[in-house]
């Protein structure tokens, strides 16, 4: 199971739901217009493995996921504070970032550490991208 936090227009949650039909994806977006767009996209694409939650991530208290992902949601420390409780023991937080966020990693809350940070190549884009993978220390 995966929760996409601050998913905007559904990225990366909806493409992951398309590519991985056995993965249950919950998209969390506080903006009603963006959440409505995702809901319509889910219907049009016939995605039975995707759920759209219009609201703040804090409203999901009590839910547990294998992983949480974000793209342009917040600083890493804020992402950990807001979504870390949603990830089961042994689960991971995945943050899509631009340049390697060395300063942000120094400010991680206690109990979390960097597991990996592979560089990402985006065809047609000449900018640096990284997938920051965090796990409980």
The total of structural domains in the chain comes to 1
Residues of the chain with pLDDT under 50: none
Specify the pTM.
0.94
Residue 81 structure tokens = 């504070």
CATH number at residue 104: 3.40.50.150
User: What span, in angstroms and rounded, lies between the C-alpha atoms of 40 and 76?
Assistant: 30
Note the pLDDT of residue 72: 82
Q: What is the DSSP letter of 90?
A: E
Note the pLDDT of residue 122: 85
User: What span, in angstroms and rounded, lies between the C-alpha atoms of 128 and 19?
Assistant: 24
Structural domain boundaries, residue 62: 2-136
Note the pLDDT of residue 21: 98
Note the pLDDT of residue 137: 79
CB 40 within 8 A of CB 27: no
């Amino acid at each position: 199971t995966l929760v996409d936090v601050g998913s905007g227009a559904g990225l990366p949650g909806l493409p992951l739901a398309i590519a991985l039909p056995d993965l249950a994806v919950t998209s969390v977006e506080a903006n009603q217009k963006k959440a409505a767009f995702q809901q319509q996209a889910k219907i049009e694409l016939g995605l039975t493995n995707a759920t759209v939650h219009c609201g703040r991530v804090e409203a999901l208290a009590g839910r547990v996921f294998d992983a949480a992902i974000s793209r342009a949601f917040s600083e890493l420390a804020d992402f950990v504070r807001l979504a870390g409780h949603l990830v089961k023991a042994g689960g991971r937080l995945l943050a899509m970032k631009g340049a390697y966020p060395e300063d942000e990693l120094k400010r991680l809350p206690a109990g979390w550490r960097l597991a990996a940070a592979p560089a990402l190549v985006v065809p047609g884009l000449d900018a640096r991208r990284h997938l920051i993978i965090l796990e409980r220390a």
